Structure 1
Amino acid sequence: MAVTAGQGAQIIPFRSPRHDPMQLKVEYLMGVMYEYGYGVESDIHEALRWYRGAAEQGLAQAQNSLGFMYSLGLGVGRDSERAAYWLHRAAEQGHSGAQTNLGILYTSGRGVERDEEEAVYWFRSAARSGNRQAQELLASAYSRGWYGLPRDPLQANFWRQRATG
């Protein structure tokens, strides 16, 4: 895709070979543009189309965005199982946002079998990568004894400091 200046952005389609890493990133960014209305009229269905194209080719950012949209029902019917599928694919690639979102699904059993141990695994993975939301979740979990974790003020303080870092 190319964008030209003028009264509004004009999108001129072009395609490079499938699985081209730059093309995947462009497809993802087109989704972002349509989701938030950056330079184009906001269109959640068009955003989904772009995210899906990049997600199906393996781009973790697009998989996370697609999973998040299914989780909340943005532009699609809410589908927790599809959300979990896409978030899991991104989480396995190390996307910390997807790891956090997937952990949240495991705490509630939405789209996956409820599994607090699995939730903590994903929260820790994300927190170690610097994801502040996961760090805050672990701080709260250790502070209150959630998700099968013991109440541990030292661990709670450690993760709280990392989150506010």
Structure 2
Amino acid sequence: MRISDLTIACLLLFVGAPQGARAQDFANGQPPLPPRPIPGIALPEPGPSRPAVSDDAVIAPAPNTPTAHSALPFVPFSNAREALRAWMRDSSAGDQVGAVRALEYAASQGHLTAQYKLGRMYAGGEGVPANDLKAFEYFSKIADENADAAPGTAAGRMVGSAFVALGSYFADGIRGSYVKPNPDRAFDMFNYAASYFGDPDGQYNLARLYMKGQGTARDPRQAARWMKLAAEKGHAPARAAFGEMLLRGGEGVPRQPVLGLMWLALARDGADPVRESWIIERHDAAFAAASAADRQAATALLERQQLAGSGSPTMQR
């Protein structure tokens, strides 16, 4: 689930957590239980006013200890909304240190979108030194405090994305920290993001766990089910993976080469040529190996779907 920085900026002042109907993609017709609380350490809280820092102040990397979590000194804001205005003003002026300081203050006040933005920043090293442990802790706080956010809302999309990020951290662990690889917890995170929030990244990653039998019993049919749900939402990697499943068939998945080629073509159309070049390679290889009749039928099916404005073709019987 990609949430643009522009969207985040617009939501920072207005996002809330209204209640609403739950997602439709529950695995067994019942909403999943929220995962148990995620271990972590407390995020920094606002401290007393400190002397102003000089103009050459920089953002220092966190100490190399498993539970260290240092923060920029907070400037006194009267509330989170004032801090967010300062964040947008300082960001526009190119004052990254002031912008991060303001955002940290808003996050410490429990502002969901500020927490999410900081998690993304630390995960990707965007304007701050990359720090996976800090990112993990922000995403953990979001998940622990907002697991019942309404699906389909701005808040729900951010919380679902935070669960996906946590799943990835639990899958691989964070070197030199208390976050160790834990396939069972990764499954919990992806399953909750996929089933409660209907998050396509969560559905894609959950399908991969079912394919590999990591954190759960191997189940190709469940893998295909979740991969199809993500593919129908326009998730390019899921479209490619689901297309390959249909090309191969077997293990409870019907072999449908024409439909498989069509999904691969849809995946190629939506793929990022830099980050997802593997999709283009697999598409090209599959079409090169297919018969002329299958290629022609897949192309015709793709055109019909594009004209109809639907990327969710009906499974052939």
Which bracket does the TM-score occupy, shorter chain normalised?
Answer: 0.7 to 0.9
Cα RMSD for the two superposed structures: 2.1
Matched to 2:185, the amino acid is R
Q: What is the CA–CA distance in structure 2 between the aligned matches of 1:46 and 1:146, rounded to whole Å?
A: 43
Q: Percent identity?
A: 28
The one of 174, 181, 199 aligned to 1:74: 174
Give aligned pairs, total: 161
SS at match of 1:40: coil
Structure 2, gaps ≥5 residues long: 1-82, 148-158, 270-317
Matched, 1:98 2:202: yes
Deviations along 1:27-62, whole A, 9 cap, x unmatched? 121111111111112111111100111122131010
TM-score (norm 2): 0.47
Quote the residue 2:125 is aligned against.
37
Number of the residue aligned with 2:43: none
Q: Superposed, which structure 2 residues align to 1:102-113 within 5 Å?
A: 102-113=206-217
1:144 to 1:7, Cα distance in 2 relative to 1, 3 A: closer
Q: Name the residue aligned to 1:86.
A: 189
Q: CA deviation at 1:17?
A: 6.9
In structure 2, the partner of 1:11 is 101
Query: Which amino acid counterpart does residue 117 of structure 2 have in structure 1?
Result: L
Could you say if the C-alpha distance between residues 72 and 160 of structure 1 is closer, same or farther in structure 2, counting changes exceeding 3 Å? same
Q: Tell me: higher relative CO, structure 1 or 2? Use CA pairs within 8 A at least 6 residues apart.
A: 2
Alpha-carbon distance in structure 2 between the residues aligned to 1:7 and 1:129: 35
**4+ runs of 1 displaced by more than 6 Å?**
none
2:142 partner letter: A
Q: Is the 8 A contact 1:107 1:119 kept in 2?
A: yes
Cα distance, 1:82 vs. partner?
0.6
Give the aligned residue type for 1:35: A
| Bigger fraction of residues in helix | 1
Q: Secondary structure at the match of 1:14?
A: helix
Q: Distance in 2 between matches of 1:62 and 1:35?
A: 11
Gaps of at least 5 residues in structure 1 are none
Q: Quick one: structure 1 residues 34 and 123, their matched pair in 2 at CA, closer, same or farther if it must change by over 3 Å?
A: same
